[in-house]
A and B are shown apart, each in its own frame.
Chain A
Amino acid sequence: MAKMKALVCRECGKEYPTKAIHVCEMCFGPLEVKYNYEEIKKNISRKKIQDGPQSIWRYADLLPVEGPTFLGPHAGMTPLVRAKNLGAYLGLDELYIKNDTVNHPTLSFKDRVVAVAITRARELGFETIACASTGNLANSVAAHAAAAGMRAYVFIPGDLEAAKVLGNLIYKPNVVEVEGNYDDVNRLCSEIAGEYAWAFVNINVRPYYAEGSKTLAYETVEQLDWRTPDQVVIPMASGSLLTKIWKGLHEMKTLGLVDDVRTKINGAQAEGCSPISTAFKAGRDFFKPVKPKTIAKSLAIGNPADGYYALKATAESKGSMDMVSDDEVVEGIKLLAQTEGIFAETAGGVTIGVLQKLVKQGTIKKGDVTVAYITGNGLKTQEAVMDAVGKPHRIQPSLASFEKTFKMGKHGGGDA
């Protein structure tokens, strides 16, 4: 029997065939893949996973594709870095960075979800792939489409960072810059998706696409030698990533890959766009949409599709949420770079900033095994830190000029 049983509405439970649809006709609730866990359990084991490819496809049994051909064959299995320096700085004994700044091929966690979405889109017979994006997703769709020989349309807001725009154009998809913010782009794309037979990865293919994020949970547990962390800190835009990490952890328990899940899920947003964190702090289970204004553009979703479920997952796990200012985002990026040698984009600054806050508050404790998810690469958001990192020392090509600048003593080791 197939591992996918149906698509099922999270709200009213109505079932649909596993096609390119994402919304329940009856109540507008989101559709989610319903798996045959009994069947999957018979096939899966720690050993089978460990013997699999060095990519997300080692977890293919838990992903909503039929296979055996997978597009995006190198996504995932990014390093889980033991962050001793940052841990010591923050006062944490066992801190890890899940480093998706080096994901393949476009340096963000979106390579995971797009690999799943484009594989499924191909299986469903689509020739054109599209997305609404704050940048990273567009880059990944464009790159995967080029490699798969598919036509692509990527829709982005008009104010993106230069590297995220260039990082689309180079692959030659149709890049559509919409005069408006991400929420405008998203609404427009929802309407366009109704008119054309395209695979919009985060609209009509969203039930499959979103499942790709679960691999961040699976990899973390495997890389921790089959332990679940005590605390995770996850950046939130739509809230989808957070809900899928939560889901992934629980699936591992369902399948007997881990004994128990006691992980507390913590969500991170920037103050200039924090509808989910604000609702959490106010004790509400619904959010009010906002007009984003933050340098963390990859998280600038004022009307987060999974905000409701992110609030639910965080509450269920007894975790927390918080937000940081743009200055704290920049400081977070610098702190991670200068302690661990990892250059994260603005979303990473949000995660590190909130991690620091949660430790200071005592929400995350010294002995907690903690994982911070760093989902994108700093080279794509250089504008954010350009004025905060100083300038190089400019010298003449002479020893004297060098030594004058660095005030070297006889044995070297001076600083400018």
Chain B
Amino acid sequence: MIKVRIPTPLRPLTKGQGEVDAQAKSIAEMIDTLNIAHPGIKGRLCDDTGELRRFVNIYVNEEDIRFLKGKETSLKDGDEVSIVPAIAGG
């Protein structure tokens, strides 16, 4: 099971939950899985071509997936994923 931390802007889609579980082998698969349990979430994270939106950052165990394999980054049982708005800081 993967633990996914949900940022405030997406919590209306997760009934207010800040953390949800997902079963997935990659980030791409995780997004699809989340979209089944919480319809609409994929449309928020990805653009019309299915690519992650410019201002969405995703981290696996605190590492930015852009330093890993992006959406193809693999996941294993016990991993923690954070979805974080890119606009912050500075």
CB-CB nearest in chain B for A241: B90
Is the beta-carbon distance between A286 and B54 smaller than 8 angstroms? yes
Beta-carbon contacts under 8 Å, A165-198 to B: 180, 182-184, 186-187, 189-191, 193-195
User: Which one, A23, A187, A202, contacts B62 given CB within 8 A?
Assistant: A187
Is the beta-carbon distance between A27 and B55 smaller than 8 angstroms? yes
In Å, the complex CA distance between A301 and B89 comes to: 9
User: Which one, A11, A194, A202, contacts B7 given CB within 8 A?
Assistant: A194
With A187-B59, A187-B82, A189-B88 as known contacts, state yes or no: A25 contacts B54, CB within 8 Å: no
In Å, the complex CA distance between A213 and B56 comes to: 25
The prevalent SS among residues of B at the interface is mixed
In Å, the complex CA distance between A206 and B85 comes to: 13
Question: Which residues in A have their C-beta under 8 angstroms from that of B89?
Answer: 132, 182, 186, 189-190, 202-203, 238, 301, 305
Q: Does B9 contact A (CB under 8 A)?
A: yes
In Å, the complex CA distance between A308 and B54 comes to: 9
Is the beta-carbon distance between B53 and A27 smaller than 8 angstroms? yes
Is the beta-carbon distance between B88 and A190 smaller than 8 angstroms? yes
Question: Which residues in B have their C-beta under 8 angstroms from that of A301?
Answer: 89-90
Q: Does A334 contact B (CB under 8 A)?
A: no
Q: Does A248 contact B (CB under 8 A)?
A: no
Question: Which residues in A have their C-beta under 8 angstroms from that of B82?
Answer: 187, 191
Question: Which residues in B have their C-beta under 8 angstroms from that of A237?
Answer: 90
Beta-carbon contacts under 8 Å, B66-85 to A: 66-67, 82, 84-85
A positions within 8 Å CB-CB of B:
11, 22-30, 132, 180, 182-184, 186-187, 189-191, 193-195, 202-203, 206, 210, 237-241, 286, 288-289, 291, 301, 303-306, 308
List 17 contacting pairs A-B, 8 Å CB cutoff, sorted by A.
A22-B88, A23-B7, A25-B9, A27-B53, A30-B87, A184-B62, A187-B62, A189-B89, A190-B88, A193-B88, A194-B8, A194-B18, A206-B88, A301-B89, A303-B64, A305-B86, A305-B89
Q: Min CB distance, A217 to chain B, in Å?
A: 17
Q: Min CB distance, A25 to chain B, in Å?
A: 4
Q: Does B39 contact A (CB under 8 A)?
A: no
In Å, the complex CA distance between A377 and B12 comes to: 44
Question: Which residues in B have their C-beta under 8 angstroms from that of A195?
Answer: 18
Is the beta-carbon distance between A25 and B85 smaller than 8 angstroms? no
In Å, the complex CA distance between A327 and B66 comes to: 30
Q: Does B57 contact A (CB under 8 A)?
A: yes
In Å, the complex CA distance between A25 and B9 comes to: 5
In Å, the complex CA distance between A156 and B88 comes to: 14
Question: Which residues in B have their C-beta under 8 angstroms from that of A194?
Answer: 7-8, 18
Is the beta-carbon distance between A303 and B54 smaller than 8 angstroms? no
Q: Does B38 contact A (CB under 8 A)?
A: no
14 additional contacts, CB 8 Å, given A29-B55, A191-B84, A303-B64?
A: A11-B54, A22-B87, A23-B8, A28-B55, A28-B56, A29-B54, A30-B55, A183-B64, A187-B57, A187-B82, A191-B82, A238-B89, A238-B90, A301-B89
With A23-B9, A203-B89, A301-B89 as known contacts, state yes or no: A288 contacts B66, CB within 8 Å: yes
Question: Which residues in B have their C-beta under 8 angstroms from that of A184?
Answer: 62
Is the beta-carbon distance between A186 and B85 smaller than 8 angstroms? no
In Å, the complex CA distance between A187 and B60 comes to: 12
Interface centre among B9, B18, B44, B45 (most CB of A within 10 A): B9
With A27-B55, A28-B44, A303-B57 as known contacts, state yes or no: A289 contacts B66, CB within 8 Å: yes
